[in-house]
Amino acid sequence: MAILPLLLCLLPLAPASSPPQPATPSPCPRRCRCQTQSLPLSVLCPGAGLLFVPPSLDRRAAELRLADNFIATVRRRDLANMTGLLHLSLSRNTIRHVAAGAFADLRALRALHLDGNRLTSLGEGQLRGLVNLRHLILSNNQLAALAAGALDDCSETLEDLDLSYNNLEQLPWEALGRLGNVNTLGLDHNLLASVPAGAFSRLHKLARLDMTSNRLTTIPPDPLFSRLPLLARPRGSPASALVLAFGGNPLHCNCELVWLRRLAREDDLEACASPPALGGRYFWAVGEEEFVCEPPVVTHRSPPLAVPAGRPAALRCRAVGDPEPRVRWVSPQGRLLGNSSRARAFPNGTLELLVTEPGDGGIFTCIAANAAGEATAAVELTVGPPPPPQLANSTSCDPPRDGDPDALTPPSAASASAKAADTGPPTDRGVQVTEHGATAALVQWPDQRPIPGIRMYQIQYNSSADDILVYRCRVQTLG
């Protein structure tokens, strides 16, 4: 007959000498209790009102169920020395934080349930030590980030990974591609907008892939999909088939999805969101001949451009097509250009040369490409010697008349009072603009002792739009 000892949650008792304390809500209601079963040893605490992992747990347990409680943090010491634990359920708590190494002693653990909590990220050290983990359930959290090394310790043993119902916009696809034993991968109900080509090519044992209800406009073909027969739904699928679920995504039904349209499938509810001609139509009812792409057309390119050496130069190229073309640039020497110390390539098709040199001149080629083809355009760049400074001189410094838009505005009362309140030691403030108007300013500087040979000051400034010096006013000294 199995022995069923009971472990009751103990509440701290006030010392006998202390005065009576007002009644406060108990962190552990009367139903708070954990049951310990033997053969195999299991500790069962579901719905016990726990605020933390009980410190009195039997460390020999093979199963620990702490679901439906109010645990907010899993600390490093909470599960220490539980080396024989095989199954751990922390589902439906309020867990926001898992300490690095919290599961480090659970080297025998096979199943970890963390679903229904409030985790926002999973770092590289939080799952450390789970070298035999097979089932990892992280659904219904608030995950927005998954570190590239978060699954390193269990990458060779993991069979079931559930990341559904989170806030993931990106995933460490390279790390997911190393899960060679994974059988089920749940990515549904997230914010994924794209999947890289070949992301699943090494998942040879994958039997179910769920990408339902994301933001995917296209799904790239993958070697895995070509090796296995696919069905849109699991009903009646043979054991060797890969079940692919992708409904609820804003699919853009063009030639990039023809491969998916050709798959064997059962009835499902996927629909096209675009282009406008196919929007709202049932995906499987659209004929293959309607999944078309439009080749790129260059709609704008920079005219011939001449810049002096040392100045930046921006070459622009715009193209349209379906899918949206990717623009690349080739130098006059035939080299493919990208981001470097001297150049920046932007997604909108602009190539910026940060500092031009005489050898940069020539014909640059813009290449716009998509799945339907490519288009090219030439842009000529001439790099000349740096020009001499351009000066615009004037010796007139007549004050503006009343009502002139150049009328100067004296300092405000607030700034004047602030200046009067300044009781600090006098300092040499150098050249100052004390009054200003729309197109005029009053410039003052401290009086200096006469300097032999100096008869005139010249005020120079430049526009914020360029570096060309402009001379506007000369002031002759008296005496």
**CA distance linking residue 77 with residue 58, whole number of Å:** 13
H or E stretch at 369:
strand 362-370
User: Amino acid identity, residue 443?
Assistant: V
User: pTM to 2 decimals?
Assistant: 0.68
The predicted pLDDT at position 262 comes to 83
**CA distance linking residue 268 with residue 212, whole number of Å:** 12
Query: pLDDT per position in the chain (479 positions), as tens?
Result: 333 333 333 333 333 334 444 333 334 444 456 777 766 789 999 999 999 999 988 999 999 999 999 999 999 999 999 999 999 999 999 999 999 999 999 999 999 999 999 999 999 999 999 999 999 999 999 999 999 999 999 999 999 999 999 999 999 999 999 999 999 999 999 999 999 988 998 998 999 999 999 999 999 988 877 655 555 444 555 545 678 888 899 999 999 999 888 876 655 678 899 999 999 999 888 999 999 999 999 999 999 999 988 889 999 999 999 999 999 999 999 999 888 888 999 999 999 999 888 888 899 999 999 999 999 999 999 988 876 655 544 444 445 455 554 455 555 544 444 444 444 444 555 677 777 665 677 777 776 665 555 556 666 665 554 444 454 555 555 44
Three-class secondary structure of residue 111 per DSSP? strand
**CA distance linking residue 318 with residue 461, whole number of Å:** 37
User: Amino acid identity, residue 271?
Assistant: A
The predicted pLDDT at position 176 comes to 94
The predicted pLDDT at position 32 comes to 54
Residue 295 and residue 373 in contact, taking contact as beta carbons nearer than 8 Å: yes
Model confidence over 361-377: pLDDT tens digits?
899 999 999 999 999 99
H or E stretch at 223:
helix 223-227
Query: Residue 97 forms beta bridges with which residues?
Result: 73
Q: Is the peptide bond before 400 cis (omega within 30 degrees of 0)?
A: no
The predicted pLDDT at position 225 comes to 76
